[in-house]
Amino acid sequence: MAVDELQAIIERCQILEEADFRGEDYDLFQVAGQKCLEDGYAAQLLEVIQNVKNKVIIKNMGWNLISPLVRCILAYKKEDEKREHCLKILDQLVQLCNPKELFLGLLEQIEQTSGEQVCQTIMLLLQPLQTVLLKLQNKKAYSVGLSLAIIMNQLTPLPVPYTKQQIQEDKLGLCQCCNAVVDFAKPFVNEVVKNMENSSEFNDTELKEELLKFCMKSLKYPLLTAQLDQLEGIEEHPFRVCQMFLHHKSRRSYWENQEFEDIEQKNSADSLACLSYLVFVQHFGINCFPMDLVKVMTLCPIEHLRKKSLSILQLFIDKFEAEGKYTLFRCLLKTSNHAGVEGYIIKNIKDQIHLSLMKAHDNIWFTGHHLISLLDLVLLLPEGAETDLLQNSDRIMASLNLLRYLVIKDCESDNQTGVWTALAKIEKNFLKPLHVGLNMSKAHYEAEIKNKKENGREAHSSNTICSLTVSGEKMPAMTTEMQLQVLHSALFTFDLIESVLARVEELIEVKVKAVMDENI
């Protein structure tokens, strides 16, 4: 009887030390265990595995049962009690077996499956595989990448459901499998995100790049051939879930590993074509797309990526019609919280106004009352006269240049932009507070310069004058000369703002006086 044979092997191994287990013992255990499963003695095998006395034996030999166990689970009907016993055995093996050996056993089983059992096998083993991967201490990134690659290789030959009916029927289980793969990868994605958020010096890029490599492959299969317009009436569309996973992961676009760089170049045409379709046709991730670009522009430490994101943002802006640009500008002005970005958006607003005034476009969104509503967000100081003018200098200069352009190009008699109607409000909310803020800021910095010069002799003797901390990192100490350079640079910025402000007020005065002279 199979159970008796297994029990005899167990009793013989119980008296051996772990190091004394021989190849013959592994083979006999596997054969006896397999026979128990095939003869319907899963319940008895479960008892053997759950026996605490056999813990060391199962740790070393249990993974050999994966193959016959999977065959039995797939063969039994769902309501069969023997199937439930087999599932409990699988759960016990995941808890007790050596993670490295069990990992190889699970992957081998996924790799060897074929035909209609591909998706069934993958869905059965994804949860155990995930648990084992989370236990691994060494080569986790490589193991996750290998797992995703084998899963993708098995799924790729399967036809992607084309019609709504095919998606709902899901004969081969591909749709369910896509959902399961997303859940499988989530803890590894979350691990990368958490590590990046918690440490500015996070350098473990291997797991991140393995996930991104899978992300590129996902763009090609199944998303490239999936009919994503067949969404209505289908809850939790499997390929929409696939997109959400893709969006969560694809946060960077370059590789630190040359092998991954080569793979991306090989597959990039199809993958990027699919990504363009998802963003600009399916509008996937469109709501947070500009915000993500802004984050790269302002927070990324890599210069060429900051420049690239700026170029992409402009391409993104250019794809909208006038109303879309108007809405996007309002959104970015309210949410970017960065003077440089706001200055760039204000420059774009000026360009759109120019097109409207030149009659190149019949554009109601950048003239009249729509424009005045937008200018209310542009021509003001966020905190009135107490606004940090140095920090907001990019925005302020862009705003002044826009106002100067409006005053020069739009005659008071035409008032196409509405700026002359809103002049009193602009003076109250922007020009007068800016005057006060400049006087306060210049006085403060001039006093600081005088103080530094007077204390320069003492400061010189102590060498180190001041320390600066940025993002938790202590920067090199600043000497008195360095501090004075910074202070003089700030004064130069204030002088520049004051010069443009004076020119704007001069232009306003000339235009107003000319109209008054005509009316006399």
Residue pair 205/211 in contact (Cβ under 8 Å)? The answer is no
Give the three-class secondary structure for 255.
coil
> Residues 228-235: what's their mean pLDDT?
56
Region of poorest pLDDT, from 91-95, 191-195, 363-367: 191-195
Q: What is the pLDDT of residues 90-136, one digit of tens each?
A: 999 999 999 999 999 999 999 999 988 999 999 999 999 999 999 99
If one counts every other C-beta atom within 10 angstroms of the C-beta of residue 109, the result is 19
DSSP label at 85? H
More confident site: 153 or 282: 153
| pLDDT grade for 420, boundaries at 50, 70 and 90 | very high
**Nearest-angstrom CA–CA distance, 168 and 165:** 5
Tokens of 302: 């890599």
More confident site: 518 or 236: 518
Q: What is the pLDDT of residues 339-359, one digit of tens each?
A: 999 999 999 999 999 999 887
What local confidence, expressed as pLDDT, does residue 241 receive? 44
> Residues 294-303: what's their mean pLDDT?
89
More confident site: 174 or 261: 174
Strand intervals (E) in 37-86 = none
Q: Which H helix or E strand runs over 476?
A: strand 473-478
| pLDDT grade for 509, boundaries at 50, 70 and 90 | very high
Query: Does the pLDDT of residue 474 top 80, yes or no?
Result: no
Q: Which residues sit opposite 466 in a β-bridge?
A: 478
Q: What is the number of alpha carbons within 13 Å of residue 40 lying toward its C-beta? A: 3
**Nearest-angstrom CA–CA distance, 316 and 296:** 15
Task: Find the DSSP H helices in 421-479.
Answer: 423-426, 432-454, 456-462
Pairing label, strands 466-470, 473-478: antiparallel
Query: Does the pLDDT of residue 249 top 50, yes or no?
Result: no
Contacts of 182 (CB under 8 A, 6+ apart): 241, 242, 244, 245
**Nearest-angstrom CA–CA distance, 254 and 213:** 11
Query: Does the pLDDT of residue 472 top 70, yes or no?
Result: no
What local confidence, expressed as pLDDT, does residue 267 receive? 59
What local confidence, expressed as pLDDT, does residue 53 receive? 92
Percentage of residues in the chain with pLDDT exceeding 70? Answer: 86
Q: Is the dihedral of CA 386, 388, 393, 398 positive or negative?
A: negative
Angle at 306 between CA 303 and CA 307, to 5 degrees: 90
Residue of 308, 407, 392, 396 lying closest to 353 (CA atoms): 407
What local confidence, expressed as pLDDT, does residue 452 receive? 83
DSSP 339-361: HHHHHHHHHHHHHHHHHHHTTSS
What local confidence, expressed as pLDDT, does residue 411 receive? 87
| pLDDT grade for 138, boundaries at 50, 70 and 90 | confident
**Nearest-angstrom CA–CA distance, 254 and 246:** 16
Region of poorest pLDDT, from 266-275, 323-332, 369-378: 266-275
The most confident of the ranges 26-30, 196-200, 260-264 is: 26-30
| Overall residue count recorded for the chain in this entry | 520
| pLDDT grade for 223, boundaries at 50, 70 and 90 | confident
| pLDDT grade for 475, boundaries at 50, 70 and 90 | low
What local confidence, expressed as pLDDT, does residue 85 receive? 95
Q: What is the pLDDT of residues 44-88, one digit of tens each?
A: 999 999 999 999 999 999 999 999 999 999 999 988 999 999 999
Mean pLDDT of the chain: 85
Contacts of 390 (CB under 8 A, 6+ apart): 441, 490, 493, 494
What local confidence, expressed as pLDDT, does residue 2 receive? 81
If one counts every other C-beta atom within 10 angstroms of the C-beta of residue 68, the result is 18
What local confidence, expressed as pLDDT, does residue 359 receive? 75
More confident site: 264 or 43: 43
Q: φ and ψ at 466, to 5 degrees?
A: -155, 150
If one counts every other C-beta atom within 10 angstroms of the C-beta of residue 459, the result is 18
> Residues 32-52: what's their mean pLDDT?
93
What local confidence, expressed as pLDDT, does residue 244 receive? 46
Tokens of 502: 């004076």
Residue 222: is the preceding peptide bond cis (ω within 30°)? yes
Angle at 96 between CA 93 and CA 99, to 5 degrees: 85
> Residues 384-393: what's their mean pLDDT?
94
What local confidence, expressed as pLDDT, does residue 491 receive? 94
Exposed, middle or buried by CB within 10 Å (0-12, 13-18, 19+), for 313? Answer: buried
What local confidence, expressed as pLDDT, does residue 251 receive? 43
If one counts every other C-beta atom within 10 angstroms of the C-beta of residue 310, the result is 17
Q: Which residues sit opposite 292 in a β-bridge?
A: none
| pLDDT grade for 253, boundaries at 50, 70 and 90 | very low
